[in-house]
Amino acid sequence: MSGRRWVIAVLFMFSLPLHGCGHVDRSVHPSPQKLASVPHEWTDKILALNPKALSETDVTEVLSKFPAPRIVMLDGSLPIVTMGSFAKFLIRMGYPEDRIRDPRNGSYSYSSYRDSREMAGMIAWYYEAEEMMPMVIGHSQGGMRAIEILHEMAGNLHEKVAVWNPLSGKVEERDTIIDPLTGKERTVVGLKVSFASAIATGKWMRFLLLQWDMLSLLRRIPDSAEEFSGFHLKYDLISGTLSGVGPGDQYYPTGSATVRNVTLPAGCSHLGILRMEELAEYPETREWIQRYVPSSESPEWTGNPEGSHPNVLLAADLWYSIKKQWCMGLQEWIFARDHGMKE
């Protein structure tokens, strides 16, 4: 058995006790809808929101009335470990389900074996069609693919990237879109996603899975992301951080991107880290997640309320960034409309 097949076989054995969620629920087939004009009576309410301090009431009574940015989720190398539980967590926290599910088959996430250039072209299509810049979040190999997508959009891998239509499943004969905020033509290369994240993505597996071309790019975050959060696990056999999270494991910007590195607490496992759907069900846990702010003044996880779980920090940190980008996306759209940038 080759080295690569041996690794995949071992990972499969590790994953079996933890997940049985590979089934795709195809009962919902959402269709992308353009952002409807925000009624002027709602403008002041949206603009008055502080994206960095959004309460649950802000989400349920204001943000939920309007569309949200598309979230592109990328699974790890084993399809039996999916982003489905995390997607359901977001939906229970109030995020629009149709901005998570794949409009073609209703799945919550995408395979990390998808071509990165195709995915970059798909993100551009969504931005043009839905008028809000998408977010990209990947777990394990999916985190590697998310970073590769960023490098595609930055022009670091190919000079041109064609638009890819997620409804038809086909590439379009163009490498430009009409920017929905300015009405001007733009190439796919040069676009910036609002937020991207990689969860438990290590160099060791890139080497063993023969993904050597990404070794030099894996920790470098280009300007094609406005904000990026990298989540690390200490002593993680699968990602390869066997001696803890050292300087060589840290993500860093190559330019203007805002990059954060977060080391997750003991008790989080590589294959179980995405199991967080239930965290939205318990009042105390949900309240802590809603109050969380990623700073030195953020609430500390104390006590052991019903439903507590080591994954709560990851859930809270991602939810903070996602709802912030949701608010900022709406505010940006209103600003473009009201200042004549949008045709």
What whole-number percentage of the chain has pLDDT above 90? 53
How many structural domains does the chain have? 1
Residue 263 belongs to a domain:
yes
Q: Is the pLDDT of residue 166 over 50?
A: yes
The predicted-structure confidence for 241-287, as pLDDT tens digits, reads as follows 655 555 567 888 999 999 999 888 877 776 788 889 999 998 888 99
The answer to whether residues 164 and 121 touch, using CB atoms and an 8 Å cutoff, is yes
Residue 6 within a domain: no
Give domain status of residue 289, yes or no: yes
pLDDT single digits (tens) 170-196:
999 999 999 999 999 999 999 999 999
Residue 186 has a pLDDT of 97
Task: Round to whole Å and give the CA distance between 141 and 209.
Answer: 10
Q: Which pLDDT tens digit goes with each residue over 3-39?
A: 434 333 333 333 333 333 333 343 333 344 455 567 7
Whether residue 30 lies inside any domain: the answer is no
- Supply the pLDDT for residue 22: 37
Residue 216 within a domain:
yes
Q: What is the CATH number of the domain that holds 78?
A: 3.40.50
- Would 28 be classed as within a structural domain? no
Q: Which residues contact 334 (CB under 8 A, 6 or more apart)?
A: 38, 43, 46, 47
The residue range of the domain holding 50 is 40-337
Looking at the chain, the whole-number percentage of residues with pLDDT higher than 70 is 75
Residue 2 lies in a domain: no
Supply 113's token pair. 């074996």
Check pLDDT > 80 for residue 80.
no
Do the domain assignments include residue 35? no
10 Å CB burial of residue 332 (0-12, 13-18, 19+) is: middle
Q: pTM of the predicted model, to two decimals?
A: 0.84
The region, left, alpha or beta by phi > 0 then psi within -120 to 50, assigned to residue 51 is alpha
